[in-house]
Chains A and B, each alone.
Chain A
């Protein structure tokens, strides 16, 4: 347990530029959903008003009507005051009905996707996010790029349990329900980096199911910054893939997370369980490919109970798998250099 602290898990680094709004209560709004903030502060002020009223009367009474002698009776035994009771029923009723209508109107805005919205897909898995861009073969994991002032709509899919797509600065949240398609949309208004959290508890690494969202100008967006692949340097591409897709379970420094470390993995004689039988295999290209595509086929001894997410060729195609292998080679003594 404690040792968990001492290791250096290659977890996503959360460097943020969000800040808070001028009242210091909410994250700074970065989308067009300002009605959320307006209603929030309206209710906030109403609440403070009633809170001050209630505690004020309470403190005043406690001081003023404090029992000073043993047999002191109450000043008044009145138990009714019809006008007062009508007022304190009707006034709050009117106020909450205003809040209700306002909130309802706002929530409708949040469900009606504008026609010019870009259609993305967010795939939630225990415990990472993968994003698919409209008419673009290259997905990205753990990071997302959006264009500023352009409405973005997401189809949300889960491949295992419930998750929730939550971006505080955009004021959006939507559960990701396995077996259903949900949508969520917003229009980012500020360039910068923003948090995307998983807000629905989804198991062990729920708190690390994080993605960094880059809202960039149209010019930057056009360069497809999510496509970091460079045919000249597959190892670098493999390292990037490792960081976004594999680092949550595999380390490169010898410590164990959910999965075995990659340090000195390449070329190693590995004990695995296949169909109930213990075997020894060499970690080579075929084995690594199988581990990525069908992780349940051969389970590493000591990790039989742990599960790895399978990655098909839509997420990691052949050349990228090669890139990962190049990167893996560099981590073992058999490989040439060390990263």
Chain B
């Protein structure tokens, strides 16, 4: 995209000395805690969700270490149940759902739109504090006795168990509102604050993805909020909605829960798709193959995803007609997803491929997501799912999607926009090693789980039959490798803030608007309003003077 703004070339000259970037413009605790700047809020989210990821990761390591032996190594059953629940709750509600929209979405979306900020900056800050309060309530629940319901909170167990379910429930309620407000904010921002000339079909796909996600967040999350509230009421006042002893229906809970939690899968994964679409294009220096199809398929997925929740309940005894519809739609929603994967691969084809660390994460995503998606097809078949449901096969499948794909896309995005965020570059060497460790460790962890699962290893087991011990041990070793990789990645990134070399304005040679703003951006992002005159991802207009575009 070209623009007539003068400061978009090599960022030298008077502006640099006159205007300070957003990191330097003010100092002190309150300048961050009370900030309305989308970039600072994005950084706060980034720190927050990263800590949540590390906490969730520690719980995951504990789970894996415990399962080294079939009798369990570290904990008694009750403690194990709490640990895997914590892992799930932290990873799903506190890390993955807010991770990409909260951190990278906040950081990059307004920049990509050529806007000064999001449309509703105060609401944005409120979202962050709701996230923080929700997280604190979950932490409080740990101290107040813990909770052992699994992240799914299935009734009636969640109603009978004598643990701190109400406080986590309220925590999730707040996290839900945080998510809704973020979604609202991004919808309004995308509608109202696009730069002149930035038509809908000139928007980067990351923006499309965040927009589709926002729709889901606004429409689906209230159902989750109501459901956890109902569980809390049921516990406190014994109304009889889900508790069969009072005439309630536990299956109703499952319906409510998955009515949210299936779309939530797409709340988590669509932003990842957005990152990958963008990064593939930049690092292949080639316009995205099937841009419109990808944009529309995001919206299509968002819509259909409301109608497939029943595939989580194929063994719950729903009617055959319901099974028919849910299985059919589940296969159907696979198609737009497949189209995306094919389009990404077609983008790499005949590109100019730079094998830098964001691209390595992106390629890892493509491979892992292929496995995650394809094993989803296996699970969609009704009779096969009856065998595989609630086994490690499902665990492996959704980790391929949630951890292997979404978290990797998040890492890809963080590495890609890191120079823009902080104005420094990390060590590419260590970033690549970390990526390789994570990729190898990830597959070593979860391929054995696929095998165990298809042989009948049920999930959420503190102890298990001895014939699975070998697979569990392989999986644990894999997890240790992932842990090492993540530690290296985090260390490398954090260290770069202090010792990294200065980043170029357009480190990778991107042509979306965020690369036209100075690095790191000033408070209001651009010195002058950018105006878009060219089509999206048009690399013929790339100004090579602003970029270093390493070859590898």
Residues of chain A at the chain B interface (Cβ within 8 Å): 1-2, 4-5, 11, 14, 16, 18, 20, 25-27, 33, 35-36, 39-40, 43-44, 46-47, 50-51, 54-55, 57-58, 61-62, 65-81, 84-85, 88-89, 92-93, 96-97, 99-100, 102-111, 160-162, 164, 166, 168-169, 171-175, 177-180, 182, 195, 197-208, 210, 305
**Nearest-CB distance from B328 to chain A (Å)?**
6
**In the assembled complex, which residues on chain A have CB atoms less than 8 Å from the CB atom of B451?**
25
Cβ contact within 8 Å between A107 and B250: no
CA distance in complex: A230, B3 (Å): 93
Answer whether residue B454 sits at the interface, using C-beta atoms and an 8 A cutoff: yes
Q: Give 11 A-B pairs besides A50-B374, A65-B351 with Cβ atoms closer than 8 angstroms.
A: A54-B370, A55-B370, A81-B346, A99-B331, A161-B250, A164-B315, A172-B387, A180-B317, A195-B456, A197-B458, A206-B461
The answer to whether A305 and B162 touch (CB under 8 A), given A43-B384, A107-B386, A166-B456, is yes
User: Contact residue range for chain B?
Assistant: 35 or more
**Nearest-CB distance from B418 to chain A (Å)?**
20
B306-349: CB near A (< 8 Å → 1, else 0) gives: 00000000111100100110011001101100110110011011
Cβ contact within 8 Å between B331 and A65: no
**Nearest-CB distance from A176 to chain B (Å)?**
9
Q: List 11 A-B contacts (CB under 8 A).
A: A54-B366, A71-B544, A73-B285, A103-B385, A110-B383, A161-B154, A174-B315, A199-B389, A200-B390, A201-B152, A203-B81
**In the assembled complex, which residues on chain A have CB atoms less than 8 Å from the CB atom of B399?**
none
Cβ contact within 8 Å between B157 and A202: yes
Looking at chain A's contact residues, the main secondary structure is mixed
CA distance in complex: A162, B377 (Å): 27
The answer to whether A61 and B380 touch (CB under 8 A), given A178-B244, A182-B317, A197-B458, is no
The answer to whether A103 and B250 touch (CB under 8 A), given A40-B454, A73-B285, A206-B460, is no
**In the assembled complex, which residues on chain A have CB atoms less than 8 Å from the CB atom of B551?**
66-70, 72
Cβ contact within 8 Å between B293 and A85: yes
**In the assembled complex, which residues on chain A have CB atoms less than 8 Å from the CB atom of B71?**
5
**Nearest-CB distance from A30 to chain B (Å)?**
11
**In the assembled complex, which residues on chain A have CB atoms less than 8 Å from the CB atom of B323?**
104, 107
Cβ contact within 8 Å between A79 and B289: yes
Cβ contact within 8 Å between A1 and B317: no
Cβ contact within 8 Å between B378 and A47: yes
The answer to whether A20 and B455 touch (CB under 8 A), given A199-B390, A204-B77, is yes
**In the assembled complex, which residues on chain A have CB atoms less than 8 Å from the CB atom of B363?**
58, 62
Cβ contact within 8 Å between B390 and A74: no
B284-305: CB near A (< 8 Å → 1, else 0) gives: 1111111101000000000000
Name which residue of chain A comes closest to B549, CB basis: A70
**In the assembled complex, which residues on chain A have CB atoms less than 8 Å from the CB atom of B378?**
40, 43-44, 47
Name which residue of chain B comes closest to A108, CB basis: B320
**In the assembled complex, which residues on chain B have CB atoms less than 8 Å from the CB atom of A46?**
377
Q: Which of B245, B323, B328, B378 is most buried by chain A, counting CB atoms within 10 A of its CB?
A: B378
**In the assembled complex, which residues on chain A have CB atoms less than 8 Å from the CB atom of B74?**
1-2
Cβ contact within 8 Å between B386 and A172: yes
Answer whether residue B552 sits at the interface, using C-beta atoms and an 8 A cutoff: yes
Which of B75, B293, B349, B454 has a CB less than 8 Å from the CB of A57?
A: B349
The answer to whether A88 and B339 touch (CB under 8 A), given A78-B350, A206-B460, is yes
CA distance in complex: A80, B286 (Å): 12
Answer whether residue B539 sits at the interface, using C-beta atoms and an 8 A cutoff: yes
Cβ contact within 8 Å between A1 and B75: yes
Cβ contact within 8 Å between A27 and B327: no
Name which residue of chain B comes closest to A73, CB basis: B352
Cβ contact within 8 Å between A173 and B387: yes
**In the assembled complex, which residues on chain A have CB atoms less than 8 Å from the CB atom of B374?**
47, 50-51
Q: Which of B456-479 contact A (CB under 8 A)?
A: 456, 458-467
Q: Which of B364-380 contact A (CB under 8 A)?
A: 366-367, 370-371, 374-375, 377-378, 380
**Nearest-CB distance from B80 to chain A (Å)?**
8
Cβ contact within 8 Å between A168 and B367: no
Answer whether residue B79 sits at the interface, using C-beta atoms and an 8 A cutoff: yes
CA distance in complex: A47, B291 (Å): 25
CA distance in complex: A173, B286 (Å): 48
Cβ contact within 8 Å between B328 and A40: no
CA distance in complex: A20, B468 (Å): 12
Q: Which of A33, A67, A103, A208 is most buried by chain B, counting CB atoms within 10 A of its CB?
A: A67
Cβ contact within 8 Å between A161 and B331: no
Answer whether residue B73 sits at the interface, using C-beta atoms and an 8 A cutoff: yes
Q: Which of A39, A80, A207 is most buried by chain B, counting CB atoms within 10 A of its CB?
A: A207
Which of B160, B291, B315, B384 has a CB less than 8 Å from the CB of A103?
A: B384
Answer whether residue B428 sits at the interface, using C-beta atoms and an 8 A cutoff: no
CA distance in complex: A111, B349 (Å): 47
CA distance in complex: A208, B77 (Å): 9
Q: Which of B339, B381, B455 is most buried by chain A, counting CB atoms within 10 A of its CB?
A: B381
Answer whether residue B534 sits at the interface, using C-beta atoms and an 8 A cutoff: no
Answer whether residue B355 sits at the interface, using C-beta atoms and an 8 A cutoff: yes
Cβ contact within 8 Å between A5 and B353: no
Which of B78, B162, B367, B463 has a CB less than 8 Å from the CB of A55?
A: B367
The answer to whether A179 and B463 touch (CB under 8 A), given A51-B370, A97-B331, A203-B148, is no
Cβ contact within 8 Å between B154 and A61: no
**In the assembled complex, which residues on chain B have CB atoms less than 8 Å from the CB atom of A39?**
381, 383-384
A-B interface, 3 closest residue pairs, ranked by CB to CB distance from nearest: A168-B456, A106-B383, A179-B244
